[in-house]
Amino acid sequence: MNVTPLGIYWKYRLEGEDPWPQARLALRMKDGSELKADSAQMTAGDYTGSGCTASVDFEKPVDLSQAEAVLWEDVVIPLETGPET
């Protein structure tokens, strides 16, 4: 999963027949607010034969220095930050 100022992008593999993951996605900010991703913009496809890719966009670019986690339904995925330079 990659989080950018414009949206969230990930690669996945589902079991069963439904090729579209139906999950609530949001970005939790350090102040406790949530920025919901627009699930209507989700795209998916089997580009390499090894799974699908999908993405959702934010309404406007996000300051990732103020983000702390991705919310996938009830799962909280903390954002990792790279080494400071």
- Number of domains comprising the chain: 1
Residue 66 lies in a domain: yes
Q: Which residue has the higher pLDDT, 21 or 8?
A: 8
Question: How far apart, in whole angstroms, are the C-alpha atoms of residue 72 and residue 37?
Answer: 10
Asked if residue 84 belongs to a domain, the reply is no
pLDDT band at 44 (very low <50, low <70, confident <90, very high): low
- Is 83 part of any domain? no
Position 83 scores a pLDDT of 57
Q: Evaluate whether residue 85 is within a structural domain.
A: no
- Does 26 reside within a domain? yes
pLDDT at res. 73: 85
Domain extent at residue 56? 2-78
Is 32 inside any structural domain? yes
SS3 16: coil
pLDDT tier at 4, thresholds 50, 70, 90: very high
Residue 25 lies in a domain: yes
